[in-house]
Amino acid sequence: MIKVLAACGAGVNSSHQIKDALEKEMGARGYQITCDAVMIKDINEEMINRYDIFAQIANTDFSFKINIPVIDAGPILYRIPTMAEPVYEQMEEAIKSVNK
């Protein structure tokens, strides 16, 4: 099972839309993933180290190094397939690189 962390400003709307979209699309592609949605301000090094992939809404500058694949997932929110597909492809490549 691949664990993905999605984050947005409030941890309520955008991150949950990304969570649902990733779980649905990656499941349809045959991957077993679980995605948690949180507030960006709540992410710390200890938290992020419990995940395999980080799906961020926008490029975020943290005070620590992120050692897992980071995917810019914001285009999923536009609900335009041609914009979301590259994100799904990046996520699929990240899943493959995790090698679980």
Tens-digit pLDDT profile for residues 16-67: 999 999 999 999 999 999 999 999 999 999 999 999 999 999 888 899 999 9
Global pTM exceeds 0.85: yes
Query: DSSP alpha helices (H): ranges in 1-100?
Result: 14-28, 45-48, 81-98
Show the domain range for 13: 2-98
- The total number of structural domains that make up the chain: 1
Which amino acid is it at 88?
A: Y
Q: For residue 8, is pLDDT > 90?
A: no
What CATH number did the domain enclosing 75 receive? 3.40.50.2300
pLDDT attached to residue 69: 97
SS3 call for 57: coil
pLDDT attached to residue 99: 74
| Contact between residue 73 and residue 59 where contact means Cβ atoms under 8 Å apart | no
The C-alpha atoms of residue 80 and residue 1 are separated, in whole angstroms, by 28
